[in-house]
Amino acid sequence: MSEAKKAKYIFVTGGVVSSLGKGIAAASLGTLLQKRGLTVQIIKMDPYLNVDPGTMNPFQHGEVFVLDDGSETDLDLGHYERFLNKSFKQTNNVTTGQIYSTVISRERRGDYLGATVQVIPHITEEIKARARDRANAEEKPDVVIIEIGGTVGDIESLPFLEAIRQVGLEEGPENVMYIHLTLVPYLSVAGEFKTKPTQHSVRELREIGIQPHILLPRCSQPLTDALKKKIALFCSVPVKSVIVGEDASTIYEVPLKFHAQGMDQIVCDHFGWDAPEPDLSEWEDMVERIKNPRKRVKIGICGKYVMLKDAYKSIIEAFIHAGVYSDARVELVWVSSEDIKKGGAEKYMHDVDGLLIPGGFGERGVEGKIEAIRFAREKRLPFLGICLGMHCAVIEYARNVCGLSDAHSFEFYRDLKHPVIHLMADQEGVTELGGTMRLGAYPCVIREGTKSLEAYGEKEISERHRHRYELNNSYRDMLTDNGLVLSGTSPDGRLIEMVEIPDHPWFVAVQFHPELKSHPLDPHPLFRDFVKAAVVFSEGNGGREEEQGKNDSATAES
């Protein structure tokens, strides 16, 4: 592409209902364009008033995805990074909260002196400025894909839709595409698919002034040609631009399904790109391995939000990636920490090949997690602890190996005799809760002769963090004297980032969040080796046969 090229814009909107997979659709199209040699930027625009999702309850919003730069973003950024194998920035996630706080602080500064500050043009101009910021990113992207959160018809999304309509006018039709995702429900009483909600949703979009170029009807099964023609006619798009998004057994199959229907070619034709066909062979191989693994392992996950799998989205995905490596389906067994506390670990964990304790906040369920870790340590069950999972592992070790029966974390109790986990020094005096944790990428140096080093294969690594508490250095000697290995520290040696138990088959706990940096073609080394150890554990117990073609485990539910 020439030096002076201007980025094109693709806007992805959704209609009928939420949770149709706009993020995966946007990421899948991005993947196809990237594999055609194009440079892709991608933005999620969220219409809520929070500045970022960092202060939201994961029960409501799903996980908070932390980027290298420390921003706390929507979980769709996780899909973008996993699919595109690229690291994004805070500016890739825009919220109404950010837009309004920028405009309001400008107003207070006096930048709009004399003017009445309004949604149109002030808010819409700021939304467009955020889109243009990524279009002008350092890497000079060929295209910016912009996903608008929410559903067409929501009051909250109106300023975003108005802004993207204006972009279409300002940039010219040859530089902008609109893609609209809808639902085509199957009514079993009538025995047929219904296209009416799609027609209404597109009509609503057209009332705003946006005519979609591509329609993505989601449905449970393939649509007949007759139905595609009907949708095309009523919604005013060519039949070939009705790209059916039928349910896939794995989200990683979506780019393949889009490509098979010619979606990336339609985009290239619209923008006049003469881009080569994508080489999808590696991707196809990965999807095949997800769908038809030879082995199976069961991993127990013990956390507070077990009822809401979106709260652990990146962990679920990291296990899928690690499973590809080990040719195993990783079946996740969600165990409630409260159940373990009441019924004991043996009852809920006797049939798992590994235990993962994810990150979390608050005291509820912590005793159950500590009990689960004790079980894993004593039964030599592979274990991976993440953030709060590492805190619990250190408490367990201090209590049951070092003999400090009242060891606990300062996060939960203030007047502790043995606060083996305490507040980080730079968190003292922090009173505002939004965006003030230790966030984002920090370097870590790994100790020789450890399983951690074996996994990473390099001594200096960088991982993403989101926490306020850490291992209390006053207990370092006691823990190491009793056999715990402090396997990773900050380069100045002051913060403990990783611990492990050397005479255990695989017991590693980390202060950071490895799940945020796993990719389907490049699994995270800790998840990869953890799953490998779980396969060994299961084979030691006779192994688990995988039923070919079976695809209903927790891991396939993404």
Catalytic residue positions?
387, 513, 515
Q: Which is nearer to ligand GLN, 383 or 469 (CB)?
A: 469
Helix, strand, or coil here: 87? coil
- Please give the full DSSP string across 302-345, using - where no structure is assigned: EES-TT-GGGGHHHHHHHHHHHHHHTEEEEEEEEEHHHHHHH-H
Query: With CB under 6 A, what is the number of residues at the site for ligand GLN?
Result: 10
User: Is residue 387 near ligand GLN by the rule CB under 6 A?
Assistant: yes
Residue 119 CB neighbours (<10 A): 14
Cβ atoms of 421 and 511 within 8 Å: the answer is no
Least CB distance from residue 467 to ligand GLN, whole Å? 3
Question: By C-alpha distance, which of 362, 314, 305, 310 is closest to 334?
Answer: 305
Pick the closer one to ligand GLN by CB: 122 or 468: 468
Closest approach of Cβ 359 to ligand GLN, in Å? 3
What is the distance between the alpha carbons of residues 334 and 348, in angstroms, rounded to a whole number? 10
* 61, 79, 466, 544: which one binds ligand GLN (CB under 6 A): 466
Residues 356-375 that bind ligand GLN (CB under 6 A): 359-361
Residue 411 sits in the site that holds ligand GLN (CB under 6 A): yes
User: What does DSSP assign to residue 510?
Assistant: E
Please check whether residue 322 is in contact with residue 82, taking contact to mean a CB–CB distance below 8 angstroms: no
Tally of CB atoms within 10 A around 197: 16
Question: CA 494, CA 473: separation in Å to the nearest integer?
Answer: 8
Q: Check: CB of residue 160 under 8 Å from CB of residue 202.
A: no
Kindly state whether residue 319 participates in binding ligand GLN, applying the rule CB under 6 A: no
Q: Does residue 497 contact residue 390 with C-beta atoms inside 8 Å?
A: no
Q: Can you tell me the distance from the alpha carbon of 105 to that of 98, in angstroms, rounded to the nearest whole number?
A: 11
Q: Is residue 304 part of the contact set for ligand GLN (CB under 6 A)?
A: no
Least distance in Å: CB of 458 to ligand GLN? 24
Residue range at the interface with ligand GLN (CB under 6 A); choices 150-158, 263-271, 281-289, 353-361: 353-361
Sorted by sequence, the CB contacts under 8 Å of residue 330 that are 6+ apart come out as 297, 299, 319, 320, 322, 323, 531, 534, 553, 555
Near ligand GLN by CB under 6 A, which window of 13-21, 47-55, 462-470, 477-485? 462-470
**Is 468 an interacting residue with respect to ligand GLN (CB under 6 A)?**
yes
The CB-of-513 to ligand GLN minimum distance in angstroms stands at 7
CB of 117 to ligand GLN, least distance (A): 38
Least separation in angstroms between residue 346's CB and ligand GLN is: 26
Q: Using CB under 6 A, which residues numbered 234 to 263 contact ligand GLN?
A: none
* 323 binds ligand GLN, rule: CB under 6 A: no
Taking the least distance from each CB to ligand GLN, the nearer of 112 and 412 is: 412
In terms of Cβ atoms closer than 10 Å to its own Cβ (0-12, 13-18, 19+), residue 4 is exposed
Please report whether residue 441 would count as binding ligand GLN according to CB under 6 A.
Answer: no
Tell me whether residue 329 or residue 418 sits nearer to ligand GLN (CB atom).
418
Interface residue with ligand GLN, options 295, 467, 528, 532 (CB under 6 A): 467
Residue number, 464 or 504, with CB nearest to ligand GLN: 464
**Residue 54 in contact with ligand GLN, rule: CB under 6 A:** no
Q: Which residues form the interface with ligand GLN (CB under 6 A)?
A: 359-361, 387-388, 411, 466-469
